[in-house]
Amino acid sequence: MSSMRATSTRVSVIVPFMNAQPFITEAIESVLAQSYPAWELLLVDDGSTDGSRAVAQRYAERYPEKILCLEHDGRQNRGVSASLNLAMVRARGDYIALLDADDLCKPHRLEKQVAFLDAHPEVALLGSWFLLIDEKGTYLEKVRPPCEDRELRWELFFNNPFANSAVMLRRKPVLSQVGLHDESCVYAKDYELWCRIADRFLVANLPEHLASRRVHRASMTSTYPDATPEFTRLRMARINSLLEWENSGDTTGEARLAAISALYFGWAMNLEPARLSQATADLLELHAAFYEREGIRSEEVQQRTHSLRARIAANLVMLTVFCSSDRVGVRGRLLAHAWRLDRRVFLHPRTLARAGRAIAGTYIPHLRRAPAAIGPPEPAGRP
């Protein structure tokens, strides 16, 4: 290993890959194009059988002072978590930047994130807003998850507010006080580690689109239905640390989690009216328990509770359209509940227009369509 990598590296960029030949060249080139120069790139082959390993080796030979190829003993396929862990213990930078082999970094990503972490030593996990692109790199959507620490930790009850390819970690405190990825997690490896980090350190997102996340058939996203039990278990453990839903009431914890997720994100699910009412109470109870644990002053809690009630009211109006009852009276009671939560949101023209379009059966971008089973928390912005 050259002295240049050992003496002038501040950021270790880690790219694990397995049969990523269609995209890995673009991912590597996006690192080479960075405006920030003090980086090393660790490419980890997880037992590829296509030409992606040869691509990685060519770049390592061309830039020996900057790029290093790693692989498991015997060129085994050991999974993404093991590949990330292999590179994290070899990394030499103060910071570790993650990048999936089918995603892209914006040219100023490392520069912006290093500047923020240098200025905020209390933050150990930093992400950013990001773009969604398709297989050809065509822009699909801008995603803007929350940015502030407390909002992000609240969001972790429901979804993953960090895009893996936009994450930068503070290496020494994470490795020494939190640890590596849990290799028993197949799908939720990132979410599980982010939760552990957020329980010990401050976390943040930069309000800039610094990465592009590719959505395609071969991505992990396509396996989300298989991932449901793992993500559900982790989210339930997080909620049970506050409320112990697994051991209370007649409804299972998983069913309550599915209902509050539908209500929180406005997923168009056909839920029983009683389940929607229970989900409203559950969300508010979870919110109160979270902020009680945080020890936040009452003025801020009131403000955040008001925002949550407004969000529930707007989504409850929408979900009333899809509820399982055909009785006008039942739907009327749900709408009355939304009115009591926040009448200004209830009467807002945008809420009424969205409800009208839902009744007419037209597509509403704001209304997230839930999967057949409530799946894993993918990186998401505000609905």
Q: What is the pLDDT of residues 166-175, one digit of tens each?
A: 999 999 999 9
pLDDT at 53: 96
Distances (CA, A) of 286 to 79, 256, 307, 308: 34, 12, 14, 11
More confident site: 296 or 80:
80
Helix axes 273-294, 328-341, angle to 10 degrees: 20
Residue 99 has pLDDT above 70, yes or no: yes
- The tens digit of pLDDT for each residue in 313-344 reads 888 777 776 665 555 566 677 777 777 777 77
More confident site: 201 or 363:
201
Region label for 337, one of left (φ > 0), alpha (ψ between -120 and 50) or beta (otherwise): alpha
| 259-273: average pLDDT | 79
- The tens digit of pLDDT for each residue in 220-260 reads 444 555 677 888 889 999 998 888 776 555 557 788 888 89
pTM: 0.85
CB 118 within 8 A of CB 38: no
Every domain range in the chain assigned CATH 3.90.550.10? 3-222
Q: What is the DSSP letter of 67?
A: E
pLDDT at 369: 42
| Pairing of the two strands 67-71 and 104-105 | unpaired
The overall average pLDDT reported for the chain is 84
Non-local CB neighbours of 66 within 8 Å, separated by 6+ positions: 4, 5, 39, 40, 41
pLDDT at 340: 79
Cα–Cα–Cα angle for 138, 60, 168, rounded to 5 degrees? 55
Residue range 3-222, CATH number: 3.90.550.10
Cα–Cα–Cα angle for 74, 80, 83, rounded to 5 degrees? 50
- The tens digit of pLDDT for each residue in 357-375 reads 555 544 344 334 444 333 3
State the pLDDT confidence band at 296, using cuts at 50, 70 and 90: confident
Residue 356 has pLDDT above 90, yes or no: no
